[in-house]
Chain A
Amino acid sequence: MDERLWNILVDSFPKMLEYGVKVTIPLTILSFALAMVVALIVAMIQYAHVKVLRQICRFYIWITRGTPLLVQLYIVFYGLPKVGIVLDAFPAAVVVLGLNEAAYMAETIRGALESVSAGQLEAGYCVGMSWTKIMWHVVLPQAMRTAFPALSNSMIAMLKETSMAATITVMELFRQAQVINGRVYEPLALYIEAAVIYLIFCTILTWLQHRGEKRLATYGGAKA
C-alpha cells in the first residue's frame, strides 16, 4: 500500500470513529429505547385484546412494516413540514428509526408473549393476582427471555440503519466517509474502513447479547 493511501486511512479513522461514537451510538441507543417502549405497549395491547386499540396497533404495524425506512424518513423530514410539523434532523431520525423498528419488535414480543403457556396466566388468577401483576411478575419475564435474541437482533440491525439518517442531513459515520472521499477520492479504502467501524460496534453488541443470554439462562427457560 502506498504512503498516500496509508496516510488517508490513518487520518480518516479517528474522524469517522468520532462520528460513530458521537452520533451513530447515541442515535442507536435513543431509537432503540423508544422502539422498546412502543413495541412493549403495542404487543401487550394485542395480547390483552383491547378492543379499539388493537385495530390501531395492527394498522400501525401494517403501514410501518409495509413501507421502506428511507421513504418514512423522507416523509417525516421533508414531507411533514408541509402540514406544519417540523422536526429537527436528529430527533426526526430517532422518531422514525424508533417507530420503524418498534413495528417489527412488537411482533417479536407478541410472539414471545403468546409462547408463554396460558396456564401461567390461569395459575396467577388462581392465587388472586391481577392481570397487571401477572404480566409484570410472571408472563413478561418469561416472554422477554424468549424474545431476547430476536430483540438483540433488532438492536444490531438498528445500528446499521442509522446510516440512512444521512439522507435527512444527520452527519454520521457513513456520511463522514463520503465527506472524506469527496476530498481524496479513495472510495474502496474509506468505505471498508467505515464498514470496519460498524463491525467493531456490532461485535460489541453481539458480545453483550451473548453475556445477556448466559445470564438469562442461569434462571432456567430458554437455553443459551
Chain B
Amino acid sequence: MKKMIALMMALLLALTAVSAFADAATDRLAKIKESGKLIVAMEGVWQPWTYHDETGALVGFDTEVAALIAEGLGVQVEYVETDWSSILAGVDSGRFDVALNGVGYTEKRQEAYNFSDIYVYSVLVLVVPEANEDIHTIEDLKGRKTSNSPGSNYAQMALDAGAEVVYVDTLGETMEMLLQGRAEATLNDKDSVDSYLSEHPEAKIKIVQVMPGDPVAIPMKKGPETETLKAEIDRILEELRQNGKLAELSIKYFGEDLTKKQEAE
C-alpha cells in the first residue's frame, strides 16, 4: 500500500513538473491558419445566444458572430458544444481556440483569460417567482438562494451580493428551480429569459430588475500564444461594427442593437 502511494505521488509530481514545461509558447493564430479551422466552444442550449432551432440546426447570435470571425480569419468554423464549466475548462487547457457564449467580461476573468474587445452588451435581469414580494434589487439577494451555472458571472454577482448559489447546468433547469421554490431568484440575460417566457407565457415568474450594459467579450487561453489571435479578432470585430453586420445580428436575435453600451435606467 505504502509503495503504491509513493509511486502515485511520484507520478503526480512528474506530471505537474512536465506540464510546467510543456506549455511551450506556440502561436495559436498560426496553428489555426495551418489547420484551417477555428474551434469555437459554446453551450448550444442558451437561446438566443447559441441554440438549435426546430430543424436542429445550430443558430444564435454567438453562432453567427463566430462564423463571421472564422470567415475573417480565412478558416472554417468548428463548433463544439458542451456545458458551461467544460467550456471554461477547455479554453483553459487550450482545447478550444475561443469560446463564444455571451461570456461576461469581468475583472476576475481577465486574470485568467485573454479577452477580445467587447462586442456586445448583455441586458441582465433579476428574476423571481411571481408570488415573491420582497426581492426588488440585487442587494435584496443577501442571504437568499439563487440558482445559476457554476463559473458564470451571474453566479459570481449573486455570491458577491451575499446570496447562496445553487448550481445548475442550463437556463431551463434554473427556471424549474424558481418555479419549484428551490431557488428564490436567478440572474440571467434578458433575451434568454424572454425566450423562456415566449415558450411558457403562463410561467409564474417575473422580472424585477433590469440591468443593461453588461459587457460581453471572447475569452482565449491566457498567455503570449493568443496575442496575435486577439489582435486579429479585434480587427475583425471592428470591421463588423463598421459595416453594420454586428448591429444587424443583434437586432435579428435580440430585437435591438446591443452592440453599444446602454446607460443604466
Contacts and interface: CB of A to CB of B under 8 A. Distances in A.
Interface of A: 11, 15, 55, 58-59, 62-63, 74, 77-79, 81-84, 86, 89, 166-169, 171, 175, 178-185, 187
15 contacts: A55-B3, A78-B86, A78-B90, A78-B92, A78-B93, A79-B93, A83-B18, A167-B83, A167-B86, A178-B45, A181-B172, A182-B44, A182-B46, A183-B51, A185-B171
A144 B28 CA distance: 51
Interface residues of B, number: 41
B47 A183 contact: yes
Given A77-B95, A83-B18, A83-B22, A182 B54 contact: no
A76 to B, nearest CB: 11
A18 to B, nearest CB: 9
B18 A184 contact: no
B86 A179 contact: no
Interface of B: 3-4, 7-8, 15, 18-19, 22-23, 41, 43-47, 51-54, 56, 80-83, 86, 89-90, 92-95, 169-173, 175-176, 196, 199-200
Given A175-B81, A183-B53, A185-B172, A82 B196 contact: no
A64 to B, nearest CB: 12
A169 B94 contact: no
B93 A181 contact: no
Contacts of A171: 81
A59 B4 contact: yes
Please provide the 3 A-B residue pairs with the shortest distance between their CB atoms, ordered closest to farther.
Answer: A182-B45, A169-B82, A78-B89
A187 B173 contact: yes
A169 B80 contact: yes
A185 B22 contact: no
A182 B43 CA distance: 10
A53 to B, nearest CB: 14
A182 B170 contact: yes
A62 B5 CA distance: 10
A182 B56 CA distance: 11
A15 B45 contact: no
Nearest to B199: A185
A84 B22 CA distance: 7
B199 A184 contact: yes
A78 B171 contact: no
A187 B45 CA distance: 12
Given A79-B93, A81-B95, A182-B51, A168 B81 contact: no
Contacts of B22: 82-84
Contacts of B23: 82
B53 A169 contact: no
A22 to B, nearest CB: 13
Contacts of A86: 95
Nearest to B203: A185
A51 to B, nearest CB: 14
Contact of B52 (A83, A89, A182, A187): A182
Given A15-B56, A59-B4, A166 B45 contact: no
A104 to B, nearest CB: 18
B86 A183 contact: no
Nearest to B96: A169
